[in-house]
Every structure is written in C-alpha cells, then in structure tokens.
Structure 1
Amino acid sequence: MKTKILSLAAILLFSFTAFGQSVKDVPATLKSAFTQKFSGATKVKWSRENDKEWEAEFKLGGKYYSANFDNAGTWLETEYQISVKEIPATVKTAIDKESAGAKIKVSEVTETKDGKSYEFVISKGKNETELVIDNYGNIIKREQLKEESKKDRME
C-alpha cells in the first residue's frame, strides 16, 4: 500500500513539474516576442500550456493579463478581464437582448489575430449562461452552464 501511495505521489509531482517551467526554461525567442508585444509588462510568470504552447501571466497598465505563444514565439491570444463599464455598447446591447435583467458575473476580452471577442458568464435566477460575443454584437457562442462548470469557474 505504501508503495502505491509513494508511486502516485511521484507521478503527481512529476506531472506538476513538467508544466511548471521556470523563466530560465523559456526559449529566448519567446521572451523576445513577448517583450516586443507587451513592453512594460511586470510580474511575468511563465507556464507551459502543453507541448506546443506557453502562457505568460502578467500585469500591464493596472490590469492582469494572460497571453499565449507557440514554441516559435508566435503570439496566439491574450485574455484579460474588464469591468461592466468597459463593455462596448454594441456588445452590451446584445447581452440585454439575449437575457434582459441578467447579472454579469464575469466579463473578459479575448484578442487573437482574427480580432477581439467578449466572453461573459451571466446569471438570471438560478441559471448561468456563458456568452461569447464578437465586436459587432453577434453572439458566437451560447452555453448553459452546469453545476460542474460553475464549480470550475469558482476555482
């Protein structure tokens, strides 16, 4: 029994350290690409998303961001939270049409080479819905959240 527990502990430890990379492990081309795109970023923490992608979490201009790059240093996406006051009018109108009277619990911007989109978790009564809306107010995704998703969002 002890052997099984120790083996499991070793596997878990290896799993976590495989993706928790220190800054010295981040390729120089990646650091350079990050610095060019996010000049002035502070509190930068790198991690490995998978074997093809890195994520940097950082602070810039008073906001916290996460940005993903591939192994070659090509920027893939940036995400950051915004306040309800920062939601563009066209996007806010789409939310109001979709679910009048709903409360916005989470609001986030995602930027990619293809443009900007807005992701929200809205609640009305006991129901929570995830909405993804483009810059023009078009709903790209609508998904009713289940209990497991709500718990994941809270962690």
Structure 2
Amino acid sequence: MKIRVILILGWLMLAVGCIESRQIKVPQSVVATFVNKYPTQENPQWIKDENGLWEAQFESKGETLRAGFQQNGLWVETEYSVNIDNLPAAVVNAVNQNHETKKIVSAELVHHYNKGIFYDLEIQTIDSTLKVEYRKNGMRL
C-alpha cells in the first residue's frame, strides 16, 4: 500500500514538474512595454513566434489583436484580423492585377514601427500560396 502511494505521489510530482517547465517566461522588458502600450489589457496569451518575437494575443473591443515585441522590449507591430470582404477596393484590385489569384485566403491590418500601416495578405495563386503586403491605396510594399 505504501509503495502504491509513493508511486502515485511520484507520478504527480513528475506531471506537475512537466507542466511548470512548459510555462513561458516572458522577459520583464517585454511585459513592461506591453503594459505601457496597452494599459487596460490583462492576462494576454504569450508565445514566441517563428521570427523570435514575443507575441501577446488579447481581445480589445471585440477584436483579437496580436502585438509583437523584441527580446529587449521594443514594440515591433500590432496585427488585427480583417474580414476579407472589408478590404479596401484598391487593395483587392491591386492583388487581382498583380497576381493570378484564385482567392485571398486571409487578411490582417498591421501597424508596424518601421513600415507604418499596411495590409498583410495571404493569397492563393494557381501555383502556390503567397504572403504579400499592400498599403490602403493599393501600393505593394
């Protein structure tokens, strides 16, 4: 009986240790910049994306936003999901003129520290899927 209890306790400790080791440790500089930029937001979901940015996902005014930060806390960008039907006509026209597009798969409005404001689109062409960026006036970045 004692052996069974010890084994169960051992497995529980191992399971808790594994769960704790998966928790993300977001740098304090990143958290401080996030709190300063979005003071009303609490408990964002944090991930480290494929580009090495710390990304906070959170809700604001019924929208899901993703804000990206460098390791040192520098804000890089904030992305807003956009309904494809709400894209500016100039963007849709530019995509159709510049690509043999079957369809626009996804769209995000991006506020970037260096590039400014633009639409980040994923488009399905005859041959492949592309990521392209356009300004509101249809100019490609």
Residues 134 and 140, structure 2, Cα contact 8 Å, conserved in 1: yes
Residues 101-130 of structure 1: CA deviation (Å, up to 9, x unaligned): 732211112221120221222235565433
Distance 1:48 1:127 in 2: 27
Q: Which amino acid in the other structure matches residue 139 of structure 1?
A: R
* TM-score where L is the length of structure 2: 0.65
Partners in 2 of 1:104 and 1:42 — Cα distance? 33
For structure 1, the residue ranges without an aligned partner over 5 or more in a row are 1-12, 141-155
Aligned to 2:109: 109
- Alignment of structure 1 residues 135-150 onto 2, 5 Å: 135-140=136-141
Greater relative CO, 1 or 2 (CA 8 Å, sep 6+): 2
1:96 equivalent in alignment to 2:91: no
Q: How many angstroms apart in 2 are the aligned matches of 1:42 and 1:63?
A: 15
List alignment gaps of at least 5 residues for structure 2.
Answer: 1-17
Letter in 1 for 2:140: I
Q: Which residue number corresponds to residue 3 of structure 2? A: none
Please, what is the CA RMSD of the aligned residues? Answer: 3.1
Give the greater-gyration-radius structure (CA).
Answer: 2
SS at match of 1:30: helix
Runs of 4+ in 1 over 6 A off after TM superposition: none
Partner of 1:130: 131
Task: Tell me the amino acid that sits aligned with residue 41 of structure 2.
Answer: A
Please give the alpha-carbon distance, in whole angstroms, between the structure 1 residues aligned to 2:45 and 2:97: 39
Secondary structure of 1:71's partner? Answer: coil
* Deviation per residue, 1:58-116 (Å, 9 max, x gap): 11121112211123322111222100233123222212322477322111122211202
The structure that is strand-richer by fraction is 1
Q: How many residues align?
A: 121
| TM-score normalised over the length of structure 1 | 0.60
Which residue identity lines up with residue 119 of structure 1 in the other structure? Answer: D
